[in-house]
Amino acid sequence: MESDLARDLLELGVRPGGALLVHSSLKALGPDAGGPAAVIEGLRRALGPDGTLLMPALSYETVTPERPFYDARRTPSCVGVIAETYRLVAGVRRSLHPTHSVCASGPLAGELLGAHASDRTPCGVGSPFRLLPQVRGQILMLGCGLAPNTSMHAIEELVAPPYLFGNPVVYTMVLEDGTRIDRIYTPHDFVGWVQRYDRIGGMLEAPGLRVGNVLGARCHLLDAARLWERALEALRDDPLAFVERA
């Protein structure tokens, strides 16, 4: 099963040896996926030993302004079973952020995760989402459509549209070594707005966006640099390009 998934990924255009950020839906892949561990193995096979696999480990559902506590070792992610399984794999690292952390393994993991600790917004200059285009990275929407693309938040932060930011919050965080610290972050808000990141599908074409099947799922593979170029252009023309009123 892992070999079938790896084959489909390569046919879609995943680059061996590259950096790949994956958003995923296990259910969409169908019964042949073999479970989250098998999907992770298939992704690693496609990337090869020189590739870097990233997955969001977002925790905004449990770490909130009302419950501003985050434990880097124990706080679960809230973006699906594949991402949560990957977070717990031996050797996988997690960036430091209370709500928008990213997990990674591979040669570029340190370079892409290390600076996130310096950010005070979810997807700032040090976030893996911002750094991915600089390493010719790709973004794979594995059966989940284009809507849950966190990289769009990083692009929004460059423009700061009126819906984006909420009020600063003091978060208490427990680091990997057990150290406990308090830090002020400015979270995203979106109250009264619906995200429409699926609209980027009408703005990109190959090689910026490739669409195809991986096992039983319709999948989208984006070139991170091209995504940034086109989405930033759209947002500067219209700050509401990727939202609509709730």
Measured CA to CA, the distance from residue 67 to residue 243 in angstroms comes to: 27
Measured CA to CA, the distance from residue 242 to residue 33 in angstroms comes to: 32
Confidence at residue 3, expressed as pLDDT on a 0 to 100 scale: 84
> What mean pLDDT do residues 152-165 have?
97
What tokens were used for 13?
């255009």
List, for residues 71-90, the tens digit of each pLDDT value: 999 999 999 999 999 999 99
Encode burial over 108-140: b for 16+ CB neighbours within 10 A, e otherwise.
Answer: bbeebbebbeebebbbbebbbbbbbbeeebbbb
Q: Are 121 and 186 in contact (CB under 8 A)?
A: yes
Distance of CA 235 to the CA centre of its chain: 20
Quote the DSSP letter at residue 87. Answer: H
Q: Are 173 and 96 in contact (CB under 8 A)?
A: yes
HEC sequence for 218-234 = EEEEEEHHHHHHHHHHH
What tokens were used for 126?
């040090």
Strand-strand pairing, 169-174 and 69-71: parallel
- 1: pLDDT strictly greater than 70: no
What's the pLDDT band for 153 if we cut at 50, 70, 90? very high
Strand-strand pairing, 217-223 and 209-214: antiparallel
List, for residues 20-64, the tens digit of each pLDDT value: 999 999 999 999 899 999 999 999 999 999 999 999 999 999 999
Task: Provide the 3-class DSSP secondary structure of residue 206.
Answer: coil
Q: Are 142 and 12 in contact (CB under 8 A)?
A: no
Q: Are 92 and 103 in contact (CB under 8 A)?
A: yes
Measured CA to CA, the distance from residue 241 to residue 75 in angstroms comes to: 33
List, for residues 161-208, the tens digit of each pLDDT value: 999 999 999 999 999 999 999 999 999 999 999 999 999 999 999 999
